[in-house]
Amino acid sequence: MAEIARLNGSSDWIDLGFVERERTPEPAMMLGIRSHVAGLSLSNTVDLLEDLGVDRSRKAIHDWVQKADLQPELGKSPNQIAIDETVIRINDQQFWLYAAGDPARNELLHIRLFSTTTTALTEIFLRELQQKHDIETAEFLVDGAQHLQTALQRAGLRFQISRHGNRNTIERIFRELKRRTSSFSNCFSHVEPVTAENWLQSFARWHNASN
């Protein structure tokens, strides 16, 4: 599997500051978090750790990912930002995943889950993006969605309509996300939306670190 080859690498981007009296060695915890976010199901991550002599449950690994509270790094100053949305299903309900990415660096800058898609929610997403990064001079790349354009106009941000070129970066990331979440059925089943959003943000942090 192609994603398994990507399990190797540094875990420096994982902050284990949440650990108090955890009985698992920190290197094993980091491996478990990285492996699950990179593509292994919880069950396969349990098997991986068992091969290393570490016996932990699926729930324990799930809790590590949630408690680590991983987020894309702050303070970026991109020249261009591709912004888009796609549908994510959680417990057979439909949610909209908003994402903003830097196409030059193939990095995710900010992602959020909303129960619907409106101009007002897009404005909230943009305000959060402004709080996290220096985007005032960036040019936004959007498709023909009118609510995206309206929200950017209201925020006084520059944009151009682009269906190809650098916008393909965010679409490739969306395809990877959908492939990843559909590859193991327990990812977004029997969870609250906030839990799914936390995993998606962890994926964004891993994606950026693995570039």
Kindly report the length of the chain.
Answer: 211
pLDDT greater than 50 at residue 209: yes
pLDDT digits (tens, 9 = 90+) for 105-129: 989 999 999 999 999 999 999 999 9
Q: How far apart are CA 30 and CA 40, in angstroms?
A: 14
How does residue 187 score in pLDDT terms, banded at 50, 70 and 90? Answer: very low
pLDDT digits (tens, 9 = 90+) for 6-17: 455 667 788 888
Instruction: Kindly state the percentage of the chain with pLDDT values over 70.
Output: 86
Strands 139-142 and 93-102 turn out to be: unpaired
Give the residue with greater pLDDT, 170 vs 110.
110
Quote the pTM value.
0.83
E strands present in 103-188 = 107-114, 139-142, 158-161
pLDDT number for residue 210? 79
Q: How far apart are CA 111 and CA 100, in angstroms?
A: 7
> CA Rg, the chain, in Å?
18
pLDDT number for residue 120? 96
pLDDT number for residue 2? 38
What are the structural domains of the chain? 4-68 (no CATH), 80-210 (3.30.420.10)
Q: How far apart are CA 142 and CA 151, in angstroms?
A: 11
- When pLDDT is averaged across residues 173-197 and rounded to a whole number, the result is 68
